[in-house]
Chain A
Amino acid sequence: MTTTLLLQVVVSGLLLGAVYALFSSGLSLIWGMMNVVNFAHGEFVMLGMYTAVVVWTALGGGPWASVPIAAILIATLGVLAYFLLVRHIMRGPMLAQILGTFGLALFLRYGALWVFGANFKTLPDDLVGHSFILGGIRFEGSRVLAGVVGLVVTVLLHLLLTRTSIGSRMLAVSEDATAAQLMGIRPQRMQALAWALAGAATGIAGALIATFFYTSPTVGETLAIVAFVTVALGGFGSVMGALVAGLLIGVVESLSAFLIGPVYKDVIVYAAFVLVLWFRPQGLMGTN
């Protein structure tokens, strides 16, 4: 086995990991801001993917058109989900929250099945640009774009939460909504904003993933499980944690699939996951 090939495996893993981080950041944000697990997250990604497919088939537009449209659409969906569903179920027991967003997931999944049909859709792979070779290693344009945007979105979200007054207000609401309200912050407005941001990040993720993955009504199921593991590993609510965890999972998955065998990769990824949580139950970068 050559070094170049091994490097190719690592690079593939890193790019995959950056994509995992990209579609996990929205989930992480909601979790951190509101202590609500959005079980419909995979379906949000799926709808972002369909946005890219529709934008391309109807308007012939690539990611430059579909990414902003998906960001706006899924952000709107996030805000709607917050005001029409989440705001109400948050007052109920934990089980209601779980079942509420899970119900939303099923509604969106089967809604997509109804509207778009069961067929798999794909976008032409030269929509972003052909793959290129650098130092003997192949980079696929669409994956590089998704990976880079993944990094940028994650860092921007992180900066927004830690360096701006809006971020401080959102964090204040997440720590103690009543106290924040006494300070003149409107909790519902902040929480709706969190859903809008998470939706936008998820929409961007979906539109970019659609450029190299297949799109189908059930694709959310396939992707969501990775998002949950990424967020738990990174630390609940830590956007940067999701980035580190995403990259880690991507590389471990690629290396183990290549060196040991693809059928064993999940075992190894989840074993590593359990091991990390054993020593750091709050996740890699979480704070209790």
Chain B
Amino acid sequence: MVELSRRAVTIGAASAAFAFARNAAAEEVVKIGVLYPLSGNAASAGNYAKMAVELGADIVNKGDPELAKLMPVAKGGGLAGLKGAKVELVVADNQGTPAAGQNQTLRLITQEKVVAMLGCYQSGITQTASAVAEKYGIPFLTPESTAADLTDRGFKWFFRTTPIATNFAKAYSDFLEEQKAAGRKVGSIAIVYENTEYGKSTSTAIADLFVKEGRNVTMKVSYSANSTDVQPQVLQLKEKNPDVVIFVSYTSDAILYTKTMKSLNWKPEIMMADAAGFNDPAYVKSMGPEAEGLISRSAFAPGKPGSIAAICDALYRKKSGGGGLEDGSARALQGFLALVDALNRAGSTDPAKIQAALKATDMKADQMVAGYNGVKFDDKGQNTLGSSLLIQMRNGEYVPVWPKVKATADVVLPYKGWTK
């Protein structure tokens, strides 16, 4: 029922906004297009990301007294650089398909006249949506799509705050090297991935780096996302019995893999996941007890009390009525704040000025919600200061375990899986 009332409020707010649109000329607004999967199989992750961005807009428009001491944009009253213009989010649903992502972007740009775009969670959709923004010369920032080649397309209007697949591959490789030194078996490695842009490019990045660093990738299993059944894949794994399995999957398949591994009674020495579905709060809630010891990555650690991360975590808890920030929502919020930072400095809604401001972005580590070392884009639009940590499932919750400087608990292996 929380969901119901939240939506009712959204609808109410939307119609109110519509009613006010005519006489809103006096009060300037800056429209930002926000495109996430609100239906389709990634809808739960998309809704958490949307909530995070909405929190970001609240911070800018209404402000937060505690946060204002740490962050210039949190004073409330809109964007100072734009004479107090309020941020208006125009949220759209990419329906989990690249075609819908493309159409919605076109609609947001040509009809809603958004000055910048944010989205889209799935890499395959970010790919098509950002191509439309590029054509129209509108800045497009992705807070979370990690497929490496998104920033290799020579786009001039595309920016990405999240670290990418090659960064994660390096973290996984270093982590496995440490485990090997600690006496764990890491001799054979399987990579199981869904076959859209995200899974293909991420698995390739991991496999390439692993081979370069002398790790033995013995299996690569590609499957179509949203399977009705994953038993054959798990039986393949059971037959080859690799020491390490790395999953690159969205939520629905992540749930099926976890359930099926239990029902067919197979587990590797080390089970790892490239975030995505395995980090979805819906997965953690329902499958946590079945995946004890699972290693995943995250950009978020709650941090010290009083830090930006901790305050935003508390605000998000209040907004979501339950769970705090996690990898997905923290990266979404971080992406939004980086975009707002640029808008504020641009002092204009001219796309070219926003683009120039984004290029000049230099946010410091102490301004971060996500655990990055800052935000600074290279020529391709990739944030060079992104970083991530590895987390482990413990009693149904993820805790940071690697690297040591960011860890709050030690790594416990082998993978335990189901606890009863």
Contacts and interface: CB of A to CB of B under 8 A. Distances in A.
Interface of A: 1, 5, 8-9, 12, 16, 109-110, 113-122, 125-126, 131, 138, 140, 143, 212-214, 216-219, 222-223, 226, 253-255, 257-258, 261-263, 265-266
B286 A212 contact: no
B259 A258 contact: no
Contacts of B47: 117-118
A216 B221 CA distance: 26
Interface stretch (B17-25, B37-45, B178-186): B37-45
Contacts of A113: 39, 43
A48 B173 CA distance: 44
Interface string B12-41: 000000000000000000000000001111
Interface string B247-263: 00001100110010011
Interface residues of B, number: 47
A1 B232 CA distance: 13
A226 B230 CA distance: 15
Contact of B252 (A12, A116, A140, A216): A216
23 contacts: A1-B239, A12-B229, A114-B3, A117-B3, A118-B46, A119-B282, A120-B44, A120-B252, A121-B282, A125-B262, A126-B420, A131-B265, A213-B256, A216-B43, A216-B252, A222-B226, A222-B252, A223-B228, A257-B229, A257-B232, A257-B233, A258-B235, A266-B224
B36 to A, nearest CB: 11
B282 A120 contact: yes
A250 to B, nearest CB: 8
A9 B235 contact: yes
Nearest to A213: B256
Interface in B209-266: 221-224, 226-233, 235-236, 238-239, 251-252, 255-256, 259, 262-265
A27 to B, nearest CB: 15
B7 interface: yes
A211 B323 CA distance: 25
Contact of A218 (B41, B195, B238, B239): B41
A122 B39 contact: no
Nearest to A109: B39
A16 B255 contact: no
Contact of A258 (B224, B226, B236, B286): B236
A110 B38 CA distance: 11
A131 B418 CA distance: 13
B232 A263 contact: no
Nearest to A260: B232
A16 B229 contact: yes
Contact of B231 (A109, A254, A266): A254
B287 interface: yes
Contact of A120 (B7, B230, B255): B255
Contacts of A253: 229, 232
Contacts of B262: 125
A4 B229 CA distance: 20
Contacts of B232: 9, 12, 253-255, 257-258, 262, 265
B238 A214 contact: no
Given A118-B38, A214-B255, A216-B44, A8 B235 contact: yes
Which residue among B228, B229, B239, B282 has the maximum number of chain A CB atoms within 10 Å of its CB? Answer: B229
A219 B44 CA distance: 13
A226 to B, nearest CB: 6
Contacts of B231: 9, 12, 16, 254
A213 B92 CA distance: 29
B336 to A, nearest CB: 20
A120 B40 contact: no
A248 B305 CA distance: 59
Contacts of B158: none
B283 interface: yes
A125 B226 CA distance: 20
Contacts of B256: 213-214
Nearest to B46: A118
Contacts of A262: 221-224, 227, 230, 232-233, 236
Contact of A222 (B41, B43, B282, B283): B41
B43 A122 contact: no
Given A120-B251, A218-B39, A257-B232, A125 B223 contact: no
Contact of A110 (B2, B39, B226, B238): B39
B405 interface: no
Contact of A138 (B39, B41, B230, B263): B263
B221 A261 contact: yes
Nearest to A116: B3
Nearest to B264: A138
Contact of B4 (A115, A138, A223): A115
Contacts of B229: 12, 16, 253-254, 257
Top 7 A-B pairs, shortest CB-CB distance = A257-B232, A118-B43, A117-B3, A262-B223, A258-B232, A140-B263, A119-B282
Given A8-B235, A114-B3, A262-B223, 12 more contacts: A1-B239, A12-B232, A16-B229, A109-B39, A116-B3, A120-B282, A122-B287, A138-B263, A216-B44, A222-B252, A253-B232, A262-B221
A266 B41 CA distance: 19
Given A261-B221, A262-B233, A121 B7 contact: no
B39 A114 contact: no
Nearest to A122: B286
A185 to B, nearest CB: 39
Contacts of A126: 420
Contact of A263 (B2, B4, B195): B195
Given A118-B43, A223-B228, A5 B3 contact: no
